[in-house]
Copies of this chain bind each other. A is one copy, B any other.
Amino acid sequence: MRISELAAAADVAVPTIKYYLREGLLPEGVRTAATQAEYCPRHVERLRVIRALIAAGVSVAEIRKVVTALDAPPAGAYDLLGVAHAAVTPAAPEGADTGSAEALYERLGGRPGTCEPGLLGGLAVALATLERAGFTVPSAVMDEYIVAARRIAEAEIAGIPGDSLEDAVRYVVLGTVLTEPLLLALRRAAQQIVSSERFAGDP
């Protein structure tokens, strides 16, 4: 298909597609004339991945890492999905006290010493924020957070589509980032429901 047809198929403007081509995010089409190239359905798939990463707030430099991994997939599916996951995980300051974070990682089922520094930093920052505010998560609540995080992740990983690498990467990127507001909104709605069940009519 021509670039205008690609634009229509992927619902992305032609100048935007040209930008992705210049940035090396989208592979060139097969040139059929000086000013014309032919694109294929894989370009549509790739455009959907790029749009997903952009929707998730990922920078062009990080997107390049993901598409490079897609073009030359690392040895294992885990490594490819790891690249996608890392691209959407904000870099947390290293050097924070990660002792308590490491302990949580192990309670989630992680092997000691195998947590990515960014993830460990994210946990450490979250714990430090609570500590600074003088707030202690009751241990029964923390137990539930850990069980819930593990069960959610199991359902999510089981749901990774197996048809194409592009689909899998798109699912990991959007399923990790764009579902965060949904999870938090569901929790707040559940808090309201459970609170009203427990306290309604209290004097």
Contact = CB atoms under 8 A, between A and B. Distances in A.
A69 to B, nearest CB: 14
Contacts of A46: none
Interface in A151-203: 151-159, 170-171, 174-176, 178-203
Given A151-B148, A182-B127, A192-B119, A198 B140 contact: no
A109 B116 CA distance: 37
B140 A148 contact: no
Q: How large is the interface on A (under 10, 10 to 19, 20 to 34, 35 or more residues)?
A: 35 or more
A17 interface: no
Contact of A155 (B51, B144, B181, B202): B144
Interface stretch (A22-30, A31-39, A58-66, A81-89): A81-89
B158 A196 contact: no
Of the listed residues A143, A171, A198, the one surrounded by the most CB atoms of chain B closer than 10 A to its CB is A198
* Residue from A89, A127, A155, A176 whose CB has the most chain B CB atoms within 10 Å: A155
A161 to B, nearest CB: 9
Q: Which residue of A52, A155, A179, A192 has the most chain B CB atoms within 10 A of its CB atom?
A: A192
Contact of A123 (B109, B147, B182, B194): B182
Nearest to A159: B138
A175 B108 contact: no
A129 interface: yes
10 contacts: A75-B203, A104-B186, A108-B190, A108-B193, A119-B192, A135-B178, A141-B175, A144-B151, A144-B155, A145-B179
